[in-house]
Structure 1
Amino acid sequence: MTKTTHPAAPVLGARALNRATLDRQLLLRPAALSAGAAVEHLLGLQAQNVKPPYYALAARLDGFVPEDLSKLMADREVVRIVSMRSTIHTHTAEDCLTLRPLVQPARDRELTYFRKGLTGVDLDRLAVITRDLVETEPRTMKQLREALSARWPDADPQSLAVAARCRLPLVQVTPRGLWGRSGQVALTTAEHWLARPARPTPTQDSVVLRYLAAFGPASVKDMQTWAGLTRLREAFERLRPQLLTFRDEHGVELFDLPDAPRPDPRTPAPPRFLPEFDNLLLSHADRTRVVPSEYRGRAWQGNQAHRTLLVDGFLAGVWRLEQDALVVEPFDTLTRAQREDVLTEGERMLAVMHPGQPYDIRFGTVVTP
């Protein structure tokens, strides 16, 4: 970890970082924002599966209903695209056309892992052919593999498809991603789907400021973890004169916006039901601001992420929906008051996401490692 060069910088403990991050993440209190404004503020929502962005907004927004996000997607105001950390995110159209070019170096680096399967493949030619294919008609990954394999029969088909996804900003077209609808993944370019060219890549400095507004206070390594990029230190150094600096309890230097909220660590934090892969748990190198050390790795089983429960602002359990019940499985025994608060939040979440459906709320046995 990078040690602070400013020993006098104030120390922010885990609870102070927790409350500041929850406030930026719209999780301390329901936010009076539109779905589109929230997606923009949060710099996108992790969207490996279709439903998580909807649950993510249900946990954060006042008056949200799933149709709010679904309509934005149908109207092509938000899209699903591979961006941060080589994972699918739901981004606003504007961020799709700017943030995706920002992380292009990471997508180029990703291709090095597939170079053996791409021997003899002209990647510039592959990008031209792929663009023509998907802009003529949206294509599934299977169709892309088949079409590109016909051009390069000696190459690995999966590597060809990955190369297409890395070299071009490919979005998933609707009905994929719409609430209550189904559809296989079919791809076209962002420029074609949005009927406008990619915008100039934003400066690293401007994205640092946006990242701090949504995830700060944070270290250089934190932002690099979020973006899947390296070499961001210079941007933070350029911005240092206009930022505040702190230290965490391990001496790591943290940066923050001067006017950003940093609530009292004693500020109440209501329970929150978060989806699998929520960016709150994935966007810092040091996750102890949300994940207690004793619960590290408990939100995952193999390569599968659980839906997570926050109690008092920290990871405290997992949850799942069964046919007739919301099942909550805490990692430790909850107090009576905590159980009542979890029930209240669970009822609110169900009313938003599954109105009129007869779900009970059950507490499962305490989950042990």
Structure 2
Amino acid sequence: MTKTTSAGGPVLSPRALNRATLDRQLLLRPAALPVKAAVEHLLGLQAQNVRPPYYALAARLDGFAPERLSALMADREAVRIVTMRSTIHTHTADDCLVLRPLVQPARDRELTHFRSGLAGVDLDRLAALARDLVEAEPRTMKQLREALSAEWPDADPQSLAVAARCRLPLVQVTPRGLWGRSGQVALTTAEHWLGRPAEPAPAPDAVVLRYLAAFGPASVRDMQTWAGLTRLREAFERLRPGLLTFRDEHGTELFDLPDAPRPDPGTPAPPRFLPEFDNLLLSHADRTRVVPPAYRGRAWQGNQAHRTLLVDGFLAGVWKLEEDALVVEPFDRLTEERREDVAAEGERMLRVMHPGASYDIRFGAVVRRQTP
């Protein structure tokens, strides 16, 4: 529910925040958006692995087919590049050239962790040499390490390659990232791959508005968590006159766009099968709008993330694809009605992602056959 607090401004419950975020994440109902427009609206898709961006869009778009994202990448209208939180994202070409300069200060700070391995290394010279190497032909990280180590034999080879990745906007060239294809990671600069220069580092204000459109209502800390940046308070304060403000149940101030959707907390939320590393679960400092406190940490094991299941809009389990089965592992017992809804959504996801294949859908010892 939404209520008013003496501290000022309406209070949004976790469920109200959940429904607002799901709506903006295109997870309340299938969105009739072209793939490129969806990737742009979502400010990119987390993509440490090749397949998650495809599953992320399958959960969000009406009529999605993996080949549509793959075609964008093959045509260089979308790319894989390290941006937010020092992780690989799939971005549109335009966003690649805008968002990478925005987060460059974070990539520069990342290099401080490798200072000891870069003693005596001129980083400007390293960036120039690495640019020449990858623009002559795409290089693997191993090739970069070897070439840079020849120039700085006393430096740590891994630190040299990381420095190149931090100083330069390196994209993974295709066939890496294409659906149904395989290829090792080979890198060149975004400017070389896309045939145009990067944009100057933008003021964050426009990206703040886009973040709120995709992830709001949100706090300053929420956006800083999403971007891996600090000191964004000034941008929010500049924008404050044109924004609405709320509070969460802990009193944290939340900002939002005046015309952004904030559905009734009772709005139904169908089950959704999300990939590992989906940005829905990673883009807020306070994740209780999606992750119930009792399930905190259940989507991870060590450094590995599980594929996650949403039920009634909240994290409710994990899932995996085995050779012949979609295995659903709820954290708690589901009602029969919800099991039927989850199975139906699983069938839909399988038809989109693996048309013509036959999988069982299993809840523990219960098996339900997918209907092709």
TM-score bracket, normalised by the shorter chain, equals: over 0.9
**Displacement of 1:34 after TM fit?**
0.7
Structure 2 residues without counterparts, runs of 5 or longer: 367-372
Which residue pairs with 1:183 in the alignment? 183
CA distance in 2, matches of 1:49, 1:191: 23
Write out aligned runs for 1:345-364 (5 A): 345-364=345-364
Return structure 1 stretches of 4+ with deviation > 3 angstroms. none
Q: SS at the partner of 1:356?
A: coil
Which residue pairs with 2:339 in the alignment? 339
CA distance in 2, matches of 1:200, 1:9: 37
Which residue pairs with 1:265 in the alignment? 265
Which residue pairs with 1:137 in the alignment? 137
Write out aligned runs for 1:160-309 (5 A): 160-309=160-309
Cα shift readout 1:251-277 (whole Å, capped 9, x = no counterpart): 000000000000000000000000000
Which residue pairs with 1:30 in the alignment? 30
Which amino acid letter does the alignment assign opposite residue 318 of structure 1? V
Which residue pairs with 2:322 in the alignment? 322
Contact 1:80 1:177 in 2 (8 A): yes
Q: SS at the partner of 1:245?
A: strand
Pair 25,6 (structure 1): closer, same or farther in 2 beyond 3 Å: farther
TM-score, scaled to structure 2: 0.96
**Two-structure CA RMSD over aligned residues (Å):** 1.3
**Displacement of 1:365 after TM fit?**
6.8
CA distance in 2, matches of 1:29, 1:196: 36
Contact 1:329 1:365 in 2 (8 A): no
Contact 1:133 1:139 in 2 (8 A): yes
Structure 1 residues without counterparts, runs of 5 or longer: none
CA distance in 2, matches of 1:252, 1:331: 29
Write out aligned runs for 1:33-52 (5 A): 33-52=33-52
Q: SS at the partner of 1:11?
A: strand
CA distance in 2, matches of 1:102, 1:365: 49
Write out aligned runs for 1:84-99 (5 A): 84-99=84-99
How many residues align? The count is: 363
Cα shift readout 1:177-217 (whole Å, capped 9, x = no counterpart): 00000000000000000000111222211000000000000
Which residue pairs with 2:108 in the alignment? 108
Cα shift readout 1:29-55 (whole Å, capped 9, x = no counterpart): 000001100000000000000000000
Cα shift readout 1:278-306 (whole Å, capped 9, x = no counterpart): 00000000000000000000000010000
Which amino acid letter does the alignment assign opposite residue 164 of structure 2? A
